[in-house]
Amino acid sequence: MPNKDQARAPANRGQKAFCLSRNIIAYATGMELPKPKLTRTVIVDGADGGIARSKFRALQLQYISDESLQPPPAADALRNLMAYLEQNAKLDVAKTSEVLAPSSPLVTKYKFMYLHGRKPFTLEGDGLESIKSNLQTGGLLLADAGCNGFDAWQKFDASFRKACKDLFPDSPLQVIPANYPLLGAKMNGGAAITSIRCRRERTDGKGPEAEMRNYAPYLEGVKVDGRWVIVYSKYDIGCALEGHKAADCLGHDKESALKLGSAVVLYSLKR
């Protein structure tokens, strides 16, 4: 017969204790395996090429197209955006960004992810689950359709919309309201983003406009539990961040791209 203390003991007490201790160890070690004995520990202060833990770090996703990983286009886009944030928002940033496949287990270490697409994009299996898990636990994905001709722009746009639906079938892409705090004065150094320069598709839908014009910003997003977890611009941001000026590109000028990219990064920090 069990005694009274045993009768009051919660079910699976041993398993629960093990899980608790496992989580504490994982948190304390950062999920890193123990190093070999006598391994020297080098302490880096961040000034000599290392990246301090406190610095904001961005991740650029490799995207899957034609069933293979593609090298990320607009490779300097994040570096230029980080330099802008450092100067204008006084944000302590790492100038170099990581590049990872969506399926990498390291993806969850980065709460700001960037995807610049020029070809049809697919997200499935481990990649879909990894990105979804990151977005559900405080992460944010900024994505834009890059410059690669009008037909390619349409194909990426359609494929990314499908990827969003696969990620969150009950939370469709929707237009982010112009008066939403992401674009507001408080988020953007006292000046709301009310006008940007952009080249968009012609009214007949058969190609890009002849020149850039002033427009109200147009961003779409997926909102989960009251927070935008995906921010999508169907007009290029990445090429503009690099300073490219293609006449057939549907997208922003560099100043507008910097403002929009900065706004999304700063919003991602307001969790």
Cα torsion at 56, 128, 155, 97 (round to 10°)?
A: 20
8 Å CB contact between 129 and 229: no
Q: How far apart are CA 243 and CA 260, in angstroms?
A: 15
65, pLDDT greater than 50:
yes
- As a whole number of angstroms, the distance between CA 115 and CA 62 comes to 7
- Domains contained in the chain, CATH given: 59-268 (3.40.50.12140)
Cα–Cα distance for residue pair 39/25, rounded to 1 Å:
20
**Tally: H helices and E strands in the chain:** 7, 12
Q: How big is the CA angle at 262 (ends 172 and 177), to the nearest 5 degrees?
A: 40
pLDDT score of 44 = 30
108 CB-near residues (< 8 Å, 6+ apart): 130, 133, 134, 137, 139
Instruction: Give percent above pLDDT 70 in the chain.
Output: 76
State the pLDDT confidence band at 116, using cuts at 50, 70 and 90.
Answer: very high
How far apart CA 271 and CA 261 sit, in angstroms, is 17
Residue 261: which H helix or E strand, with range?
Answer: helix 254-268
Nearest one of 77, 85, 46, 47 to 59, comparing CA atoms: 77
- Average pLDDT along the chain: 82
Asked whether 201 and 209 are in contact (CB, 8 A), the reply is yes
Report d(CA 215, CA 198) in Å as an integer. Answer: 7
Contacts of 131 (CB under 8 A, 6+ apart): 61, 102, 107, 113, 123, 141, 167
Q: What is the mean pLDDT of residues 231-252?
A: 89
Report the alpha-carbon distance of residue 230 to residue 113 in Å, rounded: 9
Indicate if the pLDDT at residue 220 is higher than 90: yes
Task: Provide the edge-to-edge strand list for the sheet that holds 140-145.
Answer: 98-100, 59-61, 112-117, 140-145, 227-233, 220-224, 174-175
For residues 247 and 44, the model is more confident at: 247
* pTM confidence score: 0.78
Over the stretch 6-40, which tens digit does the pLDDT of each residue have? Answer: 545 455 555 555 444 544 444 344 444 444 444 33
143 with 122: CB under 8 angstroms? no
